[in-house]
Amino acid sequence: MTATASLGAALLAGYGYSTLIAPAHGAALPMITGGVMAMQTSSAMAHPVWAARLRVALWAPLFFGSGLLIHSVATALGGTAVEIAAFALTTFIAVGVRRFGPDFSVLGLTGWTGFFISAFAAPSLAETVILLGGLPIAACVTFAVSILLRPHRPQNALAHVLRAWTAQTDAILADADAILRQTSVTRRRRTAQRIHNRSRHRTEISLLADGWLGQVASFPETTPHSIRSHLFQMHTAVDTVVRTACDATGWVDDSRVRAVRRVVSALARHDSDLAITRSDQLLDGCESVDLALFATDAIALATLRRDDPASDEHLLEEFVPAASMTPDGSLGGSASIAPMVRPRGGPRTASWHLATRQAVQASLAVAIAAAAGLLLSVDHYTWAALTAFIIFLGTSTRGDIAAKAIYRAIGTLTGMVLAVPIVLSSGAHPIVVIGIALLCCAFGYYLMSVSYVYLMLCTSLAVSEMYNVMGQFNSAFAAIRIAEVLVGSIVAVLVATLVVPISTTDAITHARQQLFRSIRELLNTAAGHIHEQRPVDHQEMLRMGKLVEEHTRQLSVVAAPLRVFRRGRSATDIRVALRKYDEYCIHTRRVVSSLPEHAAGGLGECADLRCRLHESLEELSEKLNIEMKPKKAS
């Protein structure tokens, strides 16, 4: 919504500015320039501090204008060779400034985009001056839209995330109820897979809630520690209920299956009192440990869903979120792992900052792609350079870059095929074109979380409409654009593979070791608590449990590209491995939830059991230490 509103407001402001200042030069280029800058900087305008938003609004016109001027100077100094060298220099600067923070990633992108627009539009000196004058107006409009649509209200954001967590929990319980009623093996398998996917998504939502808990200033009736504990206990209880429901589909005893189904059905219908009653009935005379655990957690879940988080004694303790969020309120990607991974290059490159490595890669890829694109088209070679540059945005490893290149090629090809009938039917009326561009922006950004293919598809449609207004869209243009995108994608993948690459396998190994270290720390703490019979710091254990969840999510993120390239048995092995790590996360949540908060509880009366638990946890910790060693086959 913010990106679309910023684009629409900037287009309107650009039209008014060009009409008043220089109607003879036309309004298309000022509108495109201001709209693109507004759309790109809208993500940086989600910063929680309004002064930071204002700083981005002030710096964006300077970066964008610098890109315009650098191209103008390069064009005046020489021919195409100088222009390609300037392309590489601008790319190095645009990527290198990322080391100063996420806002500079956006600012670097705007500066590079200014160079690109000047390269493909080739404005005159007078038109360049007009474009420079319109940039501050677009920045002010974007800042105003961000204040209206995205005010920083952590309480509202936290409430929204908690509602999403509740909705996801309700959907998982409904699926658990459905799997007990289904008789088809195929439907049960699909439902079980859907439960697993939603459970993984629910873990991400809980980490988002943890991040927003650290930003909320005050809690009138509770504390962030209480909310974290409430969600954690509910998460553990749901894991047990869902696991028992899935296992019950293979039981022979129908009476036990019916008993489980009655409890799950009551939970799915939000009938907490009935769920507690049926769970109590199941506990009476229950001889199965699994059923007893299921009934106990079902009672806990029903009680937690009915009651709000209560306040506790940790009012003055500092709350430390387990997951770090980006300025726009989302969880970090593979870039959180890549800086700690040694690149596959010489020993001197190992000490390079991640932004420096990517700057070298991106600038080299842009220069080669631009030179190769010239062989296809002198007028449109900049599309190859743009493709090579964009592929290095938001990616860190070779697998990430290769996957994004494939998605970009597929999205462009599909978009250009769909653009032919849409452009022919819509015509070149400016109002229709602007409407289609706004729709493409809205749907592209909205569906980007599903797949990058959708963003590229919508972008190709919008670009085709823009060229149609300029009278340049035809079948030959569509073919050239597809070819240029393919060239840029291939060059980006080759450079990322050969020049100081960060291996996806190395990133997975590091993420895996990081996960095992966090689990070992948790197990050792739990073992020490059981052995010494001392009270445990429950809030610290909860933080360690959330840290295991975050490291599990990071491992899944860095391993995602392998599921794109590997098929058959290899892809199945990857899915099985990731599911195994999700099981580790579930069991560590169970360990944290099972530890007595005060003294040693019933374990103090059973020294033999206490010693067994202590030895078991230490043995698990030692096994994880062995597993942490890198294996080429894993």
Distance of CA 556 to the CA centre of its chain: 11
Neighbour tally for 23: CB within 10 Å: 9
Beta carbons within 8 Å of 120's beta carbon, 6+ residues apart: 380, 382, 383
Instruction: Return the CA Rg of the chain.
Output: 28
What is the model's pLDDT at position 581? Answer: 87
Q: Does residue 393 have a pLDDT over 80?
A: yes
Q: Does residue 316 have a pLDDT over 60?
A: no
Report which DSSP code applies to 605: G
- Which stretch, 95-109, 260-274, 332-346, has highest mean pLDDT? 260-274
What type of residue is 425?
S
| Strand partners of residue 331 | 325
Q: Does residue 593 have a pLDDT over 90?
A: no
Structure tokens at 591: 């360990």
Beta carbons within 8 Å of 568's beta carbon, 6+ residues apart: none
Report which DSSP code applies to 550: H
Q: Does residue 124 have a pLDDT over 90?
A: no
Relative orientation angle of helices 475-498 and 382-391, to the nearest 10 degrees = 40
- The answer to which of 142-151, 194-203, 319-328, 614-623 has the lowest mean pLDDT is 614-623
562 vs 178, higher pLDDT: 178
Quick one: average pLDDT of 27-42? 87
Q: Does residue 354 have a pLDDT over 90?
A: no
What is the model's pLDDT at position 548? Answer: 92
Distances (CA, A) of 293 to 55, 302, 607: 54, 14, 23
Burial of 345 (C-beta count, 10 Å sphere; 0-12/13-18/19+): middle
Q: How far is residue 401's CA from residue 496's CA, in Å, rounded to a whole number?
A: 7
What type of residue is 552?
T
- pLDDT band of residue 549 (cuts 50, 70, 90) is very high
Q: How far is residue 527's CA from residue 549's CA, in Å, rounded to a whole number?
A: 20
Q: Does residue 388 have a pLDDT over 70?
A: yes
Q: Does residue 594 have a pLDDT over 90?
A: no
What is the model's pLDDT at position 65? Answer: 92
* DSSP assignment of 180-222: HH---HHHHHHHHHHHHHHHHHHHHHHHHHHHHHTT----SS-
Q: Does residue 536 have a pLDDT over 50?
A: yes
What is the model's pLDDT at position 202? Answer: 92
Q: Does residue 49 have a pLDDT over 80?
A: no
Q: Are the CB atoms for 137 and 13 separated by under 8 Å?
A: yes
- The dihedral built from the CA positions of residue 544, 545, 546 and 548, taken in this order, carries a sign that is positive
* DSSP assignment of 305-368: HHSPPPP-S-SSSPP--SS-B-TTS-B--GGGTGGGSPPSS-GGGGGS-HHHHHHHHHHHHHHH
Beta carbons within 8 Å of 285's beta carbon, 6+ residues apart: none
What is the model's pLDDT at position 281? Answer: 87
**Dihedral Cα 205, 209, 210, 214, nearest 10 deg:** 150
Task: Tell me the percentage of the chain whose pLDDT exceeds 90.
Answer: 25
Residues in the chain: 634
What type of residue is 627?
E
Relative orientation angle of helices 224-248 and 569-594, to the nearest 10 degrees = 120
Residue 168, CB half-sphere, CA atoms under 13 Å: how many? Answer: 23
What is the model's pLDDT at position 339? Answer: 78
- The dihedral built from the CA positions of residue 167, 250, 241 and 555, taken in this order, carries a sign that is negative
Q: How far is residue 163's CA from residue 272's CA, in Å, rounded to a whole number?
A: 18
pLDDT (tens digit, 9 = 90+) per residue, 443-481?
Answer: 988 988 888 889 889 888 888 887 777 777 777 778 888
Structure tokens at 613: 């638990």
- pLDDT band of residue 632 (cuts 50, 70, 90) is very low
pLDDT (tens digit, 9 = 90+) per residue, 409-434?
Answer: 999 888 888 888 888 777 767 788 88
What is the model's pLDDT at position 224? Answer: 86
pTM exceeds 0.75 for this model: yes
The closest alpha carbon to 249, from 176, 301, 168, belongs to: 176
SS3 112: helix
The closest alpha carbon to 390, from 352, 356, 358, 344, belongs to: 358
Q: Does residue 174 have a pLDDT over 90?
A: yes
Dihedral pair phi/psi, residue 325, rounded to 5°: -110, 155
Q: How far is residue 128's CA from residue 29's CA, in Å, rounded to a whole number?
A: 10
567 vs 20, higher pLDDT: 20
Distances (CA, A) of 182 to 188, 195, 270: 6, 14, 21
Question: Which residue, chain included where needed, has tokens 């008993």?
Answer: 259
- The answer to which of 243-247, 276-280, 509-513 has the lowest mean pLDDT is 509-513
Q: Are the CB atoms for 194 and 262 separated by under 8 Å?
A: no
What is the model's pLDDT at position 608? Answer: 60
- The answer to which of 31-35, 262-266, 389-393, 572-576 has the lowest mean pLDDT is 572-576
Alpha helices in 427-474 (DSSP H): 430-447, 452-469
Structure tokens at 475: 């079948």
What is the model's pLDDT at position 90? Answer: 93
Please, what is the average pLDDT of the chain? 84
Q: How far is residue 231's CA from residue 262's CA, in Å, rounded to a whole number?
A: 24
Structure tokens at 181: 């009623």
What is the model's pLDDT at position 206? Answer: 93
Q: H helices then E strands: how many in the chain? A: 23, 0
In three-state form (DSSP H/G/I as H, E/B as E, the rest C), the secondary structure along 44-96 is HHHCCCHHHHHHHHHHHHHHHHHHHHHHHHHHHHCCHHHHHHHHHHHHHHHHH
Quick one: average pLDDT of 28-33? 86
Q: Does residue 349 have a pLDDT over 70?
A: no
What is the model's pLDDT at position 568? Answer: 59
Report which DSSP code applies to 97: G
What is the model's pLDDT at position 609? Answer: 61
What type of residue is 178?
A
Q: Does residue 20 have a pLDDT over 80?
A: yes
Q: Does residue 101 have a pLDDT over 90?
A: no
The closest alpha carbon to 590, from 83, 230, 237, 303, belongs to: 237
Q: How far is residue 65's CA from residue 441's CA, in Å, rounded to a whole number?
A: 23
- pLDDT band of residue 315 (cuts 50, 70, 90) is low
- pLDDT band of residue 631 (cuts 50, 70, 90) is very low
pLDDT (tens digit, 9 = 90+) per residue, 283-301?
Answer: 887 778 888 889 999 999 9
Q: How far is residue 271's CA from residue 338's CA, in Å, rounded to a whole number?
A: 46
Q: How far is residue 488's CA from residue 386's CA, in Å, rounded to a whole number?
A: 8
Residue 19, CB half-sphere, CA atoms under 13 Å: how many? Answer: 6
